[in-house]
């Protein structure tokens, strides 16, 4: 019997704000919303930005707009105008040897042979006869000054006992908590229905935690005259995103993993999650990613590759010499010069279809499939290849198989990778155009939300999915509003690039293709089915009476979701962080050859494992 992975909850945070209740999505189309919907999203952002106590007048609304989405890099993480560097130099002795004094405990452990040292009161005097290699403390200005930053004033480390956690893990705690709260169903109720070994968490970052509280400090501490912290190495690992959820949020002993596929990382995790649901061995899966790459070193790395939009290149595009338009730094499928880094954390919660109905869970949509293919032989490892033709072709094929030709041709659209680089605009548009031609599709709608949010690397596909769910809730696909025209070298045949917000009937837009093209040949495309299609499929399998009962149960779930949203808007802190809570040691387990009973878990773990090779044994 087939099992459908139903999206029953989602949450997180990105430059547009909190994801649950579609607030981050609504920030993208806030100019097209009703006054009540827009007002609630302004209020939600004000609460995040520590502005809740101020009157919601027009100047405050403008402040909120100006301090969300892609914008000029602010100074909360680092000062882009004063980045610490060291410049190497050689001091040469003139007529006299070089002499200087220093505290004894500041001497190097390995003293050069040509140094003469004499002790003075509280210090030592060092004489160097010939010359001295030194590093001068210096600073530089960043050539890249645009980024997709979280809303100004939002401080995830203040919401729980963060204990010098790397920023990416701070975002994980917030984002995963938001997703769990968005369920509207107490997690203990889920644990009472589902054994611990039938739950799973798949989440990661693409680059690990590279700031001063993670790998960043471990790599450069000795060069900065500092010490490595005992936390730096462990907390810098990419799989810590999932580890933190298991250890401090859910207390999960189920399956876990951290799939990494560059910019397609979220979809790699999603594929493992839906495979678990469809196998029948798992009933609940949390999937996600977190990334906090806005550091001077990461920016410098991508800039040196020629991948990021610098101020100078943006000014050239606009024909100006100053006053860079940082808001429009990311310009997918138009005349552009590079992508824009962003920070974000996104999570979705999947139930199998039976559990979704049993619990009255929200039905935000479902995942038809995720396709992943490599590029084959390549010249440049970060360059694009042929794998994305395969993933997009399979994605179109699965829509045709499930929903039919008409749905594929007239009731689907693409959430493009759309990074804003000259190479991406040509290669990705060619893929879309060729797949549309092959399947007989005309005017296939194409959206590209990195124009608002920037590129959050591992989390980027999560941003695309959250936006897609919002479009079904509100009937508006965000347009690519940072551009006024499509570049001449972009392939437009059979495509409709949405430069303005595009209104849809949610009941008549059946599927969305979430596309991702990652460095190294990590290509992935997911197909998300609409809430309407998902309910139709549930009705086909379970019957109309089961859906009627689900609707009745769902009333309480929706009320709980509304309560969480209202509390968050009013400044409530829903962050979940269970440090040292409910820790179970091995000698507390009850073991037999049939089951393991864990204190605090309602249901035992069954050890009677079915033979998967009955035809061979």
pLDDT digits (tens, 9 = 90+) for 145-167: 999 999 999 999 999 999 899 99
Q: What pLDDT, on a 0 to 100 scale, did the predictor assign at position 16?
A: 98
Q: Tell me how far the alpha carbon of residue 323 is from its chain's centroid.
A: 30
CA distances to 343, 437, 483, 540, 579 from 240, in Å: 16, 43, 37, 40, 15
Cα 484 to Cα 459: distance, rounded to the nearest angstrom:
27
**pLDDT tens, 407-466?**
999 999 999 999 999 999 999 999 999 999 999 999 999 999 999 999 999 999 999 999
CA distances to 30, 91, 115, 130 from 110, in Å: 62, 19, 11, 18
**Which residues, including other chains, have CB under 8 Å from residue 218's CB and lie 6 or more apart?**
228, 229, 232, 233, 236
Positions annotated as catalytic residues are 263, 417, 455
CB-facing half-sphere around the CA of 587: CA atoms within 13 A: 0
Q: How far apart are the first and last CA of the chain?
A: 24
Residues of the chain with pLDDT under 70: none
CB 338 within 8 A of CB 312: no
Cα 466 to Cα 471: distance, rounded to the nearest angstrom:
9
Q: What is the pTM of this model?
A: 0.96
CA distances to 16, 177, 190, 362 from 183, in Å: 21, 10, 10, 7
DSSP state letter for 41: H
Q: Which residues of 328-350 are buried (b: 16+ CB within 10 A; e: fewer)?
A: bbbbbbbbbbbbbbbbbbbbbbb
Q: What pLDDT, on a 0 to 100 scale, did the predictor assign at position 456?
A: 98
CATH topology of domain 6-75+144-544: Peroxisomal Thiolase; Chain A, domain 1 (3.40.47)
Q: What pLDDT, on a 0 to 100 scale, did the predictor assign at position 120?
A: 77
Q: What pLDDT, on a 0 to 100 scale, did the predictor assign at position 485?
A: 97
349, β-bridge pairs: 9, 286
The conformational region for residue 165 under phi > 0 = left, psi -120 to 50 = alpha, else beta, is beta
Cα 333 to Cα 581: distance, rounded to the nearest angstrom:
49
Cα 316 to Cα 306: distance, rounded to the nearest angstrom:
15
DSSP assignment string, 133-180:
EEEEEEEE--S--EEEPPPTT--GGGTTT-TT--HHHHHHHHHHHHHH
CB-facing half-sphere around the CA of 493: CA atoms within 13 A: 11
Tokens, residue 243: 């580890």
């Amino acid at each position: 019997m087939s099992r459908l992975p139903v999206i029953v909850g989602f949450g997180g945070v990105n430059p547009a704000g909190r994801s649950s209740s579609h607030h981050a999505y609504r920030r993208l189309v806030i100019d097209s919303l009703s006054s009540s919907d827009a007002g609630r999203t302004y209020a939600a952002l004000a609460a995040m930005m520590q502005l809740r106590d101020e009157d919601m007048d027009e100047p405050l609304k403008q402040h909120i707009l100006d301090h969300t989405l892609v914008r000029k890099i602010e100074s909360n993480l680092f000062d882009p105008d004063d980045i610490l560097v060291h410049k190497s130099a050689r001091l040469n002795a003139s007529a006299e040897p070089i002499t200087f004094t220093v505290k004894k405990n500041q001497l190097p452990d390995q003293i050069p042979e040509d140094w003469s040292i004499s002790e003075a009161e509280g210090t030592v005097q060092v004489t160097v006869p010939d010359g001295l290699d030194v590093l001068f403390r210096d600073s530089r200005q960043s050539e890249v000054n645009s980024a997709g930053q979280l809303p100004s004033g939002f401080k995830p480390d203040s919401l729980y006992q963060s204990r010098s956690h790397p920023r990416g893990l701070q975002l994980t705690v917030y984002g995963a908590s938001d997703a769990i709260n968005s369920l509207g169903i107490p997690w203990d109720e889920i644990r009472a229905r589902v054994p611990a070994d039938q739950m799973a968490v798949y989440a990661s970052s693409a680059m690990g935690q590279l700031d001063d509280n993670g790998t960043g400090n471990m790599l450069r501490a000795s060069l900065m005259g500092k010490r490595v912290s005992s936390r730096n190495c462990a907390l810098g690992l990419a799989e810590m995103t999932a580890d933190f959820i298991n250890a401090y949020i859910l207390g999960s002993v189920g399956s876990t993993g951290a799939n990494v596929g560059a910019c397609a990382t979220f979809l790699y995790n999603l594929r493992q999650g839906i495979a678990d649901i469809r196998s029948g061995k798992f009933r609940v899966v949390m999937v996600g990613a977190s990334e906090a790459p806005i550091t001077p070193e990461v920016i410098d790395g991508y800039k040196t590759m020629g991948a990021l939009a610098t101020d100078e290149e943006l000014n050239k595009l606009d024909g100006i010499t100053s006053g860079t338009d940082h808001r429009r730094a990311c310009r997918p499928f138009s005349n552009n010069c590079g992508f824009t880094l962003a920070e974000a954390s996104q999570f979705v919660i999947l139930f199998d279809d039976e559990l979704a109905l049993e619990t009255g869970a929200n039905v935000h949509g479902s995942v038809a499939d995720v396709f992943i293919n490599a590029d084959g032989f390549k010249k440049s490892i970060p360059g694009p290849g042929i794998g994305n033709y395969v993933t997009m072709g399979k994605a179109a094929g699965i829509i045709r198989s499930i929903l039919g030709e008409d749905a594929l041709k007239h009731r689907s659209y693409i959430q493009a990778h759309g990074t804003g680089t000259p190479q991406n605009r040509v290669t990705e548009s060619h893929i879309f155009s060729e797949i549309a031609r092959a399947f007989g599709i005309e005017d296939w709608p194409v959206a590209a939300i990195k124009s608002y949010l920037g590129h959050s690397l591992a989390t980027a596909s999560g941003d695309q999915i959250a936006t897609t769910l919002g479009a079904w809730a509100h009937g508006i696909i965000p347009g690519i509003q940072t551009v006024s025209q499509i570049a001449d070298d972009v392939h437009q045949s059979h495509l409709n690039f949405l430069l303005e917000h595009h209104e849809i009937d949610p009941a008549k837009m059946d599927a969305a293709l979430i596309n991702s093209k990652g460095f190294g040949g990590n290509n992935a495309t997911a197909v998300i089915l609409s809430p309407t299609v998902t309910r139709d499929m549930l009705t086909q399998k379970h019957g109309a009476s089961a859906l009627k009962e689900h609707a009745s149960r769902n009333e309480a779930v929706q009320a709980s979701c509304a309560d969480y949203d209202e509390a968050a808007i009013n400044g409530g802190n829903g962050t979940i962080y269970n440090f040292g809570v409910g820790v179970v040691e091995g000698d507390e387990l009850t073991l037999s050859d049939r089951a393991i009973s864990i204190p605090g878990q309602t249901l035992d773990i069954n050890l009677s494992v079915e033979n998967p090779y009955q035809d061979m044994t």
